[in-house]
Amino acid sequence: MIYLDNAATTRPLDGALARAKTYLTDCYFNPSALYHGGVEAHRFLSEARSALLSRIADPALFDLIFTSCGTESDNQAIFGAGRRGNVVTTAGEHAAIYESCKELKNRGVEPRFAPLHADGSVDVEELLSLVDEKTSLVSVIHVSNETGAVNDIAAIAKRVKQKNPRTVFHSDGVQAFGKLPVRLTKDIDLYTISAHKIGALKGTGALIRRKAYTALPAYLHGGGQENGLRSGTENVFGIACFRYAAEEKFASLQEDAKRLAAYKEQFWSLLDRALFTRLSPVGGSPYILTVSAHGKRGETLQRMLWDQGVAVGTGSACNSKKPHSRVLAACGYAPEVLDGVLRVSFCPQTTQEEVFLAAEAMNEAVRAFGGV
Amino acid sequence: MEKVVIVRYAEIHLKGKNRGYFERVFCVNLEKALKGLRHELRRTSGRYLIAAFDDADADEILDRVSRVFGVHSYSLGYRVPSDLDSVFAAARTVCPQSGTFKVETHRADKRYPMTSLEISAAIGGRLLDANPALRVDVHSPQHTVYLDIREDGTALVFGTFEEGAGGMPVGTSSKGLLLISGGIDSPVAGYMMAKRGMEVEYLHFHSYPYTNEQAKDKVVELARILSRYAGGEALATVKVTHIQEEIHKKCAPELNVTLLRRFMFRIAERVAKKKGAKCLITGESLGQVASQTMEGITSSNAVVTLPVLRPLIGFDKEEIIVRAKKIGTFDTSVLPYEDCCTVFLPEFPAIKPKLSFIEEEERKLDVEGLVEEALTTLERISIH
């Protein structure tokens, strides 16, 4: 199996699993327990917290709330910070942000969606024009999960704060963390990360918060874990995997990004230009290459490829009620382009041989396509 | 006081000399329905008693009995010795705490020292004495307490008559092969035939990879729901992808669906013969879609010799939906996964295709070869 759907989820890293195992089998104690085992688990959580946090932010200025997933972190950000006036976001957000913002309408908060460029990045000038004195929150995805386009969140956050210093700035960094060099600036108040996109497990995520932003309310109420902001017994094993996977990823982050950027371009060069259109920008995330086999159905191609031993993603689940990717439609592509979207997403374990084989399999699948 | 479910059967008593056979099948079906629950099934004259079950299973037993074809009505009640004190104790249990009521007695035991009316009056009187919140209304009471004095010195006491599924015991009217698509109609068609006693086998056509695995899972789920009424152990599936590709490549696009249906019928007939099914069952309703016109039906029938039963032929969509909801298949049917008919759907399907044109277009295809090839993809998926 050539697995090239790493933007959906990744195979857990053997090393991270092995190192974390002790928190499943031996140190399984409740971190809130007051005997030694509990204290040990709690101590480990603190270490993991600062280890993860310090990868992308200054622990003196930021702290980190462990959550159950990226979606939960996004929900806490939107519903915690977007409680009045209006909330400005983009048409290119992951559903966790997009649907949450739509829900804000029912809570008396006006959601505003900034348009996208063709590559999936946000039109910054349009975004800023939507920000006013009543804007309580701006949320901009860091790396588009659909095209790999990168938004310059540091610059955007700075300009948002210039326009309204009281506005909270959040970014969904799920496709950026552990893949691109990230340093959170003081203009960024909240930042979402997720474990299973970098070789750790589903069921673990985190919301990073600038300490000076103290108004964030609790999301789950209960035993007061995570500084009272997210109650619930911590997933110590999941967090241990997260920590060790991040360690592995960050150790070779720059080299991986450079190598995968080359693979990505090589992959594109191997695809038959008569069959495929490229949707991903040049210079976007090296981890994501989105293309379209215009006129063919991506969902069908995806299943044909699976049967050939290649797993790739599509624009979105294709069904008669929701035929196309909302984000790619917002990029302005024609329906026949949207029909045929395939997303190839890499991981550091991807080999050059896999690039050759998968690209050829994609050409073959489109040529063998007999239907509509 | 023994808690029992009283099951009365529907048309079986009409069956004269074959009655024994019908009753045996009915009994087997009841046992099948109750499988896994502790119980005893007893036959008494004209009805069955389910007894010796765990109290906690009572609702589950009633639910399962409600889906057995051939059941006319059923009641949850008590079996007690037929002396007045015992009957009264049970009557108190089934009688509500307030409102109007009457007592209705059926006396099979003609040696019983009181007449039906006397028994009703005696028990009614004692119920009134025991609970001043009750009032008697013999004309239109809110509640009725039923007493059935049996010949074996026992009485059945119950407070409700639930309507059963009716129809005939499944298995008494031969076997049919249902072409089940994942839509709303075909499960209802299967239900209708099972109701008339037909044992149903299931066949589904898919076009993987154009259709997805969820669409197949959905059909398995539909067959599973339907099997609670209609029986059946497995869903047969056949892949028609190559047939669709060939039609798409070589034939007039407006005939896509018409030609595909002829292939489906040919394949279905062969599967039916393998399974011992004596007919095909489809969910077609006249005029509902382009392929369900008289011309469309004629063109499909022309390729098979088995009868094709279309129990929904005269139904409106709304009527079918009402039934699908009642059976419990509707919510699954409307899940948004495409079936093979919608994948290669032409923009303008032929509404009244001429048989001569159809046959002419079909000659462009290796019909026998494609049917044989499709049959090699026959799969059996357990639905339990």
Q: Mind spelling out the 3-state secondary structure of chain A?
A: CEEEECCCCCCCCHHHHHHHCHHHHCCCCCCCCCCHHHHHHHHHHHHHHHHHHHHHCCCCCEEEEEECCHHHHHHHHHHHHCCCCEEEEECCCCHHHHHHHHHHHHHCCEEEEECECCCCCECHHHHHHHCCCCEEEEECCCECCCCCCECCHHHHHHHHHHHCCCCEEEEECCCCCCCCCCCCCCCCCEEEEECCCCCCCCCCEEEEEECCCCCCCCCECCCCCHHHCECCCCCHHHHHHHHHHHHHHHHCHHHHHHHHHHHHHHHHHHCCCCCCEECCCCCCCCCEEEEECCCCCHHHHHHHHHHCCEEEEECCCCCCCCCCCHHHHHCCCCHHHHHCEEEEECCCCCCHHHHHHHHHHHHHHHHHCCCC
> Measured between CB atoms, does A367 come within 8 Å of chain B?
no
Write down the ipTM of this complex: 0.79
Chain-centroid distance, C-alpha A145 = 6
Contact B336 A322 (CB under 8 A): yes
> Measured between CB atoms, does B365 come within 8 Å of chain A?
no
Write out chain B's pLDDT in tens, 384 residues.
899 999 998 776 667 778 888 889 999 999 999 999 999 999 887 789 999 999 999 999 999 999 999 999 999 999 999 999 999 999 999 998 999 999 999 998 889 999 999 999 999 999 999 998 999 998 999 999 999 999 889 999 999 999 999 999 999 999 999 999 989 999 999 999 999 999 999 999 999 998 888 889 999 999 999 999 998 889 999 999 999 999 999 999 999 999 999 999 999 999 999 999 999 999 999 988 878 899 999 999 999 999 999 999 999 999 999 999 999 999 998 887 766 556 677 777 888 888 999 999 999 999 999 999 999 999 999 998
Contact A303 B209 (CB under 8 A): yes
Q: Which residues, other chains included, contact B58 with Cβ-Cβ below 8 Å and sequence gap of 6+?
A: B3, B5, B76
**Is A241 annotated as catalytic?**
no
CA–CA–CA angle A296, A301, A306 (5° rounding):
180
**A30-85 pLDDT tens trace:** 999 999 999 999 999 999 999 999 999 999 999 999 999 999 999 999 999 999 99
The amino acid that residue B136 corresponds to is V
Contact B342 A320 (CB under 8 A): yes
> Measured between CB atoms, does A304 come within 8 Å of chain B?
yes
Catalytic residue chosen out of the listed positions A101, A318, A331, A347: A318
Separation of alpha carbons A87 and A80, rounded Å: 12
Fold of A2-9+252-370: Aspartate Aminotransferase, domain 1 (3.90.1150)
Q: Which residues, other chains included, contact B364 with Cβ-Cβ below 8 Å and sequence gap of 6+?
A: B250, B251
Q: For residue A332, what pLDDT is reported? A: 95
Residues of A in contact with B212 (CB under 8 A): 299, 303
CATH of A14-250, one of 4.10.520.10, 3.30.70.20, 3.40.640.10, 3.30.540.10: 3.40.640.10
Q: How confident is the model at residue A322 (pLDDT cuts 50, 70, 90)?
A: low
Separation of alpha carbons A121 and A131, rounded Å: 18
A–B interface: beta-carbon pairs under 8 A: 29
Q: In chain B, which residue's Cα lies nearest the Cα of A303?
A: B209
Contact A319 B338 (CB under 8 A): yes
> Measured between CB atoms, does A214 come within 8 Å of chain B?
no
Name the residue among A172, A220, A219 with its Cα closest to residue A197.
A172
Separation of alpha carbons A193 and A174, rounded Å: 5
Q: Residue A111 above 90 pLDDT?
A: yes
Residues of B in contact with A299 (CB under 8 A): 212
Separation of alpha carbons A290 and A281, rounded Å: 9
- Yes or no: say if B338 and B250 are a contact pair by the CB < 8 Å rule: no
Q: Residue A268 above 80 pLDDT?
A: yes
- Yes or no: say if B222 and B190 are a contact pair by the CB < 8 Å rule: no
Indicate whether this model's pTM tops 0.90.
no
Name the residue among B115, B189, B184, B181 with its Cα closest to residue B147.
B115
Residue whose token pair is 């259109």: A277
Q: Count Cβ atoms within 10 A of the Cβ of residue A363 and give its class: 0-12 exposed, 13-18 middle, 19 or more buried.
A: middle
Residues of B in contact with A372 (CB under 8 A): 248, 343-344
Domain ranges of chain A: 2-9+252-370, 14-250
Across the strands, what pairs with A114? A90
Nearest to A303 among B212, B337, B342 (CB): B212
> Measured between CB atoms, does B337 come within 8 Å of chain A?
yes
